[in-house]
């Protein structure tokens, strides 16, 4: 089994360190671990946020654990050299089109949610976000209008095949959960969304056991805070999924708790090749201070164990260890507590 660790920028290395300790504790037989540079640090060391050797390392692995990228010192670089291009480049070069972003309330954290505890208690949603298309990867640029002013543009599009494959992922996920799928789009305004909706309806014929509904994205944003318990699986495009998943994290209590998996079609000897990352960013404001909550990173490792290494029992062990640490009141600053990065790591290791 081979996995690649890409810590990246900001708090990335600190939280990755805790994931590495968890890995060591699990002591998986025959595991080989590589480490590579991504993001601003890769730009500084190799002149590119996604060096070829990093990409090759990812391709040679069964799964990739990704910290975070983003560095304010790089904000004025040309777009193709900015740290974020590492994550976007990996997603597209590796064909990782299906992003699974679960948001579930942890026992004991109901009061940390931005929502009323009785509303927050009900949250158990899986956001399935399309990750290789949409306005993220369409033609983009700057041009000058006839009147001489600058105009930025980013083209939004989805091809049928792109919608079909993410729909299949989402229907299958719903089948393994409570059997409800809500497709989120903006079909009242966008042609891209009309196509999206048509294809989702088409695919639903193969999943008669899944109850399908549709929601406009503005309404979905509202319903997520009004009554999040109504959702089981949400399937949506790249941009809407980016926004709704950050929103869902705050409903749970902290963005420092949410993990994600980006999966493609490639099968490894043990499962599906994927890349796993916390949904939060590099948090440059607290980087290097030992304050960041490593739980989302550790939970991302659990997803890697499950999906790419076929080690469901280990994944559950890690998830239980994190949940137990939370229940025991080991809370980072993001949850109003005082536990630092290493202390949270220690608590998880102790549970293991
Ligand atoms: C995410 C992030 C990325 C995205 C950024 C860093 C490019 O916000 O994974 O949600 O927009 O997809
Ligand atoms: Mg995001």
Distance 118 CA to ligand 1 centre (A): 30
**Distances from the Cα of 62 to the Cαs of 66, 131, 146, 245, in angstroms?**
13, 19, 51, 26
Task: Give the residue-averaged pLDDT of 291-314.
Answer: 97
Residues serving a catalytic function are 136, 186, 218, 242, 246
Q: Which ligand is nearest to the CA of 8?
A: 1
Distance 279 CA to ligand 1 centre (A): 8
Report the residue among 281, 284, 297 best suited for mutation to probe ligand 1: largest number of ligand atoms under 8 A from its CB. 281
Distance 242 CA to ligand 1 centre (A): 6
**CB-based contacts of 133: which residues, under 8 Å, 6+ apart?**
97, 157, 158, 159, 162, 237, 238
Distance 223 CA to ligand 1 centre (A): 23
CATH number 3.40.718.10 is the correct assignment for the domain at 1-99+258-352: yes
Average pLDDT, the chain: 96
CB neighbours of residue 202 within 10 Å? 13
CATH classification code of 124-251:
3.40.718.10
Pick the residue whose CA is nearest to atom 11 on ligand 1: 242
Ligand 1 atom with the shortest distance to the CA of 245: 10
Give the model confidence (pLDDT) of 75-89 as tens digits.
999 999 999 999 999
Q: How far is 35 from 129, CA to CA, in rounded Å? A: 27
Task: Give the residue-averaged pLDDT of 217-243.
Answer: 97
What integer pLDDT is reported at residue 107 of this predicted model?
85
What integer pLDDT is reported at residue 255 of this predicted model?
84
Ligand 1 atom with the shortest distance to the CA of 131: 12
What integer pLDDT is reported at residue 235 of this predicted model?
98
Task: Give the residue-averaged pLDDT of 147-170.
Answer: 98
Half-sphere exposure of 255 (CA within 13 A, CB side): 15
Per-domain residue ranges of the chain: 1-99+258-352, 124-251
Asked whether the domain spanning 124-251 has the same topology as the one spanning 1-99+258-352, the reply is yes
Nearest to 297 by CA among 9, 14, 1: 14
pTM comes to 0.94
Report the residue among 71, 88, 103, 262 best suited for mutation to probe ligand 1: largest number of ligand atoms under 8 A from its CB. 88
- Residues with CB in 5 Å of ion ligand 2: 242
Distance 169 CA to ligand 1 centre (A): 20
Q: Which ligand is nearest to the CA of 281?
A: 1
Task: Give the residue-averaged pLDDT of 48-68.
Answer: 98
Q: Which ligand is nearest to the CA of 9?
A: 1
**Distances from the Cα of 240 to the Cαs of 127, 130, 183, 258, in angstroms?**
10, 9, 11, 17
Residue 284 predicted with pLDDT over 90? yes
Task: Give the residue-averaged pLDDT of 284-308.
Answer: 97
**β-bridge pairing 140-144 and 150-154:** antiparallel
Residue 55 predicted with pLDDT over 90? yes
What integer pLDDT is reported at residue 237 of this predicted model?
98
Q: Which residues line ligand 1 (CB under 6 A)?
A: 84, 87-88, 242, 279
């Amino acid at each position: 089994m081979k996995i690649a660790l890409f810590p990246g920028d900001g708090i990335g290395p600190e939280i990755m360190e805790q994931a590495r300790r968890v890995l060591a504790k699990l002591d998986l037989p025959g595991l080989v671990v590589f480490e590579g540079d991504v993001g601003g640090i890769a730009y500084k060391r190799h002149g590119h946020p996604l060096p070829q050797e990093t990409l090759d390392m990812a391709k040679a692995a069964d799964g990739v654990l990704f910290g975070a990228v983003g560095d304010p010192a790089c904000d004025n670089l040309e777009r193709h050299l900015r740290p974020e291009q590492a994550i976007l480049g990996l997603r597209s070069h590796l064909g990782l089109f299906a992003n699974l972003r679960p948001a579930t309330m942890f026992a004991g954290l109901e009061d940390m949610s931005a929502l009323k505890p009785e509303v927050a208690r009900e949250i158990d949603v899986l956001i399935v976000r399309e990750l290789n298309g949409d306005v993220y990867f369409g033609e983009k640029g700057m041009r000058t209008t006839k009147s001489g002013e600058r105009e930025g543009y980013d083209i939004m599009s989805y091809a049928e095949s792109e919608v079909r494959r993410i729909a299949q992922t989402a229907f299958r996920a719903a089948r393994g959960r409570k059997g409800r799928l809500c497709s989120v789009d903006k079909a009242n305004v966008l042609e891209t969304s009309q196509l999206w909706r048509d294809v989702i309806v088409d695919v639903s014929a193969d999943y008669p056991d899944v109850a399908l509904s549709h929601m406009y994205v503005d309404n979905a944003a509202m319903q997520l805070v009004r009554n999040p318990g109504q959702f089981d699986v949400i399937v949506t495009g790249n941009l809407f999924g980016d926004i709704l998943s950050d929103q869902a994290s705050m409903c749970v209590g902290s963005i420092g708790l949410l993990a994600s998996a980006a999966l493609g079609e490639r099968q490894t000897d043990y499962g599906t090749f994927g890349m796993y990352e916390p949904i939060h960013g590099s948090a440059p404001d607290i980087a290097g201070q030992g304050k960041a909550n490593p739980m989302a990173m550790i939970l991302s490792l659990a997803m890697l164990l499950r999906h790419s290494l076929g080690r469901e029992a280990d994944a559950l062990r890690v998830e239980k260890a994190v949940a137990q640490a939370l229940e025991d009141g080991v809370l980072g600053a993001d949850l109003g507590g005082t536990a630092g990065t290493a202390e949270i790591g220690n608590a998880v290791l102790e549970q293991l």
